[in-house]
Homo-oligomer: A and B are copies of this chain.
Amino acid sequence: MKVTIREVAKQAGVAPSTVSRVIANSSRISSKTKARVRETMEALGYHPNFNARNLVNNRTNMLGVIIPGASEVAFQNPFFPEVLRGITTKAYTAGYGLALSTGQTDEDIFNEVKQMVQSCRVDGIILLSSKIDDQIIPYLLEQQFPFVLVGRPDNIATKNITYVNNDNVKAAKLVTEYLLLLGHEAIGFIGGQQEAIVTVDHAAGYEQALHNAAIPMNRDYSVYYQEVLEGGQQAVIELMSLEKPPTALIVADDLMALGVLRMLDEMQVSVPEDISVISFNNVMLSELSSPPLTTVDIHIYELGQKATDALVEKIQTPDIEAKTIIVPHRLIKRQSCKKLDHLAPSK
């Protein structure tokens, strides 16, 4: 059936070990033999058996990519395809294949990770965003298995974790300060799922900015929704029915912001005239909404690339020390925010 190293050897009149050395391009094989062997490999259509190599080398040249929570849900958000793009390009150039997690529940996924690790399916793992009380990270640490995290660990103090993240606290602070500068004080905060670390960080940045501006926190102004699209819509209902509704909204994610815009539109509240909206991620679609969204570009693609680079490095240099890579963010001003009216010159 499949052509093996022995047949190549026989055909080329050398020993199997020689063929193996040719594959590895060993320096102690005469270029003449190399040429001859390569020729027969070509002629016979030889391809090394991946599993046999893996078995003896204890390597797979595969990277595991763990999509958190339900990939079911995750894939609804352009964040994941976008990191995947970044991962993909770097994995390709580094010569690694990608194995995707398929589990839907946290438990399934944890089992998959164990599988990948224990059964030598992958050489390293990329964890896409972490949640509070995650059990995967401690496990990987204990196993001393190479991995990188996109996002940050629950407890920053935890040593030996290489992660690639944005400074989400600062980004949220920036966004809040921007709205404050525009004269808004009643600023609503629509966060993503509460267990997500990014949500925690966003909330922290938001609070810091308000605190620095000496604006008292209004608990009613902070709401959290897991569902991206419906979440945005429900959040608007919740916030806009307050006695004193906010004049500006910080939204966890562009997609969620689209839901927000939609609901606002239905309520005949116009953006940015009646209310300002700002969000995070700068997903491709954010410039296509009406109005185009003011948002924070977090360079998702780069997160994926940097994570992959770091992982490959870690695999190839096991003793390398853990790194923290912070990808910068950037405020993209478009048309969804406006100075609060009573501050406008016309007043």
Contact = CB atoms under 8 A, between A and B. Distances in A.
Interface of A: 2, 45, 47-52, 54-55, 60, 62, 65, 71-72, 75-76, 78, 80-82, 84-85, 88-89, 91-92, 96-100, 102-104, 108, 114-115, 118-121, 229, 255, 258-259, 261-262, 265, 284-285, 287-290
Nearest to A73: B85
Contact of A55 (B51, B72, B229): B51
Contact of A229 (B71, B103, B284): B284
Nearest to A98: B100
Nearest to A47: B118
Give the 8 A-B residue pairs with the shortest CB-CB distance, closest first. Answer: A47-B118, A50-B119, A92-B102, A51-B54, A75-B81, A51-B55, A98-B100, A75-B85
Q: How many protomers of this protein does the assembly include?
A: 2
Given A288-B262, A290-B262, A104 B89 contact: yes
Contact of A75 (B60, B82, B102, B289): B82
A119 B262 contact: no
Residue with the highest number of chain B CB atoms closer than 10 Å, among A2, A52, A62, A103: A52
Contacts of A97: 99-100, 102, 121
A287 B51 CA distance: 47
B115 A88 contact: no
Most buried by B among A50, A80, A259: A50
B62 A99 contact: yes
30 contacts: A45-B118, A47-B115, A47-B119, A48-B119, A49-B55, A50-B120, A51-B51, A51-B55, A51-B60, A71-B85, A71-B88, A72-B85, A72-B88, A75-B81, A75-B82, A75-B84, A76-B81, A78-B78, A78-B81, A89-B102, A89-B104, A92-B102, A97-B102, A97-B121, A99-B99, A99-B100, A229-B288, A255-B285, A261-B288, A290-B290
Nearest to A233: B288
Contacts of A290: 261-262, 265, 290
Contacts of A115: 47
Contacts of A96: 102
A55 B120 CA distance: 13
Nearest to A65: B100
A230 to B, nearest CB: 10
A318 B103 CA distance: 27
A280 to B, nearest CB: 17
A100 to B, nearest CB: 4
Contacts of A114: 47
A262 B258 CA distance: 14
Given A51-B55, A258-B285, 17 more contacts: A47-B115, A49-B119, A49-B120, A50-B119, A62-B99, A71-B85, A75-B81, A75-B85, A76-B81, A76-B85, A80-B81, A84-B100, A88-B102, A89-B104, A97-B121, A99-B100, A255-B285
